[in-house]
Amino acid sequence: MADPTVSLYRPLLLADGVHASAARTPDKTALRCGDAELTYGQLDRRVRRVTSRALAALSLEPGDRVAILAPNCLEYPEIMLGLSDAGAIVATLNPRANARELQDACDNCGARVLFAHASLSAVVDAAQFATVEHIVLIGADGERGYDAWREQPQPWQQKSGAVATGIPAIAETQPFTLVYSSGTTGKPKGILISHRSRVLTFHAMAMEYGCYGPDDRFLSLAPMAHGAGLAFTMATLYFGGYVELVGKFEPAAVVEKLAREPFTGIFMVPTHFQAIFALPVDFLTRHRRSATTLRAIISNAAALPEALKEKIVDFWGEGLLHETYGSTEAGIVTNIRPADQLRKIQSVGRPFAATLVRLLDDDGNDVPVGEIGELYSRSSFLFDGYWNNPQDTAACVRDGWVTAGDLARCDADGYYYIVDRKKDMVISGGINIFPREIEEVLHRHPAVQEAAVIGVPDEHWGERLRAFVVLAPGHSSGAVAISEADLIEYCKQSLSGYKVPRELRLIAALPRNVGGKVLKKELRALV
């Protein structure tokens, strides 16, 4: 007889979506990377094996930290999900990290175990860890290899062949991941995210974007080591859809894949779009409006310049592009929907589902409509603070509201516009200058592929503007060559004198983090 006293409450846990999909459609393809793929039944079995091995072989306890250092690969989701079911907190590390950065991150969070891709073994071997007890290599053969580790029988299986099914009770408020920030303004910080925060985010994403159902197919380009890349991939698996992980981004291959295969959703950052529109004109002409099954193109990580946004809408069509604004700390904060992309072209949209937004002055007062203030948000998608860093946590949290340090304004229709990073604002001769305005002007020039503007010390003015520009293909030499002086003159046509860069440098590429954000601190370090 059923026990009526058993609670009907079920916590929101990251891996539960995959477990449910495996029970419902075990033979359906869940995940593909390169030539390898897994059905939901296979993925679920692997997830459970990781959980079992983590508890028995690694003796992990809820709250223990485990690090993963890998590019996008077939094993990444199962490791994340399996460890989350074991109650571990998984630190997702930048696969481009050097040995010192890897060592610092693992030491900072006290990681007991490191899962690393075999292609990065030289970096791992060069690091000297203070807390790491076990290293498992993804894609390696032998005892150190991940496949051998995952499939090794547990002690109690030697005779019976049984598989452990018991997992620790996990609260939905418990963190499952520790995302190390991109470090655009300083040393990276570990950002704690709970099961509840991300699962609720998945539900809001499914409602807003319309490409996260069980019949949807999502193409995932962003690294899973990045907060957005992790969320946009895991949301697909949570709802039983199909996701293809791309290990190496090749712009022409992505365009052709979208034209050839029935994908319904894709997430890209501005650098992906820039690379696509740098392809030969005849190739782009042949593939214009060719992705006929797409329902949503989602962009995040950095602002889309107006000129680039217009190209996206023209190439793929209206009714597809969503540009979201947010941060790992706050989750998705606003979204500009397809219908408003060109009507409110500079806007990042209205607040995301179940999200409140405020613009505050330095004294904590709400600013009037149209005025600039620091953007704060409150929702169920927020982080749980920085790992062992109460000082920085307090600096970005005000009475339960979280900020990423961005300045914004709101129009009379409730649409928000990011003005700039508060820390990037330049004060020259006592006047506040927002570099993003100058960057928008430079992006309108047909010879400019990318631009970034910073302030540098000036004895007379306090700070002066310096611009860095990456030219579009074909404009660095010959009859259509563009010089620094040409671009400064172009700025003078659209900007007040004090906003025109005093210096402009042409460079091969802008420094960016794994999430695609420009690292202005590295530009400031250039002589």
- State the DSSP code for 366: B
Determine the Cα–Cα distance for residues 250 and 13; give it in Å rounded to an integer: 34
Per-residue pLDDT at 17:
98
Q: Is residue 176 classed as helix, strand or coil in its secondary structure?
A: strand
Radius of gyration over every alpha carbon of the chain, rounded to an integer in angstroms: 24
Q: Which two tokens stand for residue 443?
A: 């992006």
Q: How many residues does the chain have?
A: 527
Among 174, 178, 212, CA closest to 194? 174
Q: Which residue has the higher pLDDT, 60 or 1?
A: 60
Q: Say how far apart CA 435 and CA 467 lie, in whole Å.
A: 9
Q: Which of 46-55, 176-185, 202-211, 345-354 has the lowest mean pLDDT?
A: 176-185
CA distance 430 to 413: 32
User: What percentage of the chain reaches a pLDDT higher than 70?
Assistant: 95
| Percent of the chain at pLDDT exceeding 90 | 76
More confident residue, 419 or 167: 419
**Residue 500 contacts by C-beta under 8 Å, 6 or more apart in sequence?**
438, 465, 488, 491, 492
> What pLDDT is stored for residue 184 in this prediction?
46
- Which pLDDT band holds residue 477 (cuts at 50, 70, 90)? low
Q: Which helix (H) or strand (E) holds 286?
A: helix 281-287
Tokens 């920030």 appear where?
A: 181
For the chain, the helix, strand and coil percentages under 3-state DSSP, each to the nearest 5: 35, 25, 40
Residue the block writes with tokens 């419902």:
24
Measure the CA angle with vertex 131, ends 126 and 134; round to 5°: 75
pLDDT classification of 527: cutoffs 50, 70, 90? low
Q: What are the structural domains of the chain?
A: 16-194 (3.40.50.980), 195-216+231-379+401-422 (3.40.50.12780), 425-525 (3.30.300.30)
**Amino acid found at 263:** F
Model confidence band, residue 343 (pLDDT cutoffs 50, 70, 90): very high
Give 183's pLDDT tier (boundaries 50, 70, 90).
low
Residues 415 and 350: beta-carbon distance below 8 Å = yes
**Residue 229 three-state SS:** helix
User: Tell me: the pLDDT tens digits for 287-299?
Assistant: 999 999 999 999 9
Tokens encoding 87: 């109650």
pLDDT at 260 > cutoff 90: yes
Would you say residue 273 has pLDDT above 50? yes
The answer to whether residue 205 scores a pLDDT higher than 70 is: yes
Kindly write down the DSSP assignment for every residue of 378-424, as one continuous string: ESTT----BTT-HHHHHHHEETTEEEEEEEEEE-TTS-EEEEEEGGG
Provide the pLDDT for residue 156.
Answer: 45
Instruction: Work out whether strand 331-336 and strand 350-351 pair parallel, antiparallel, or are unpaired.
Output: antiparallel
Mean pLDDT of 148-170: 63
Average pLDDT over residues 273-287: 95
119: number of Cβ within 10 Å: 15
The pLDDT confidence band at residue 442, using thresholds 50, 70 and 90, is: very high
| pLDDT (0 to 100) of residue 479 | 61
Mean pLDDT, residues 15-19 taken together:
98
Contact 301, 517 (CB under 8 A): yes
User: Residue 300 pLDDT > 80, yes or no?
Assistant: yes
Q: Which residues lie closer than 8 Å to 278 by C-beta, 6 or more apart?
A: 251, 449, 472, 473
The verdict on pTM exceeding 0.75 is: yes
Is the pLDDT reported for residue 425 higher than 90?
no
pLDDT (0 to 100) of residue 182 = 59
When comparing pLDDT for 332 and 430, which is higher? Answer: 332
Tokens of 21: 């999909």
Query: Is the model's pLDDT at 154 over the cut of 80?
Result: no
Q: How confident is the model at residue 208 (pLDDT cuts 50, 70, 90)?
A: very high
Q: In the sheet where 175-180 sits, what is the strand order?
A: 134-138, 113-117, 65-69, 89-93, 175-180, 190-194
The rounded distance, in Å, linking the Cα atoms of 283 and 275 is: 13
Phi, psi of 25 (to 5 degrees): -140, 70
Sequence-distant (6+) residues with CB within 8 A of 280 are none
Measured CA to CA, the distance from residue 202 to residue 235 in angstroms comes to 5
Check if the beta carbon of residue 54 is closer than 8 Å to that of residue 80: no
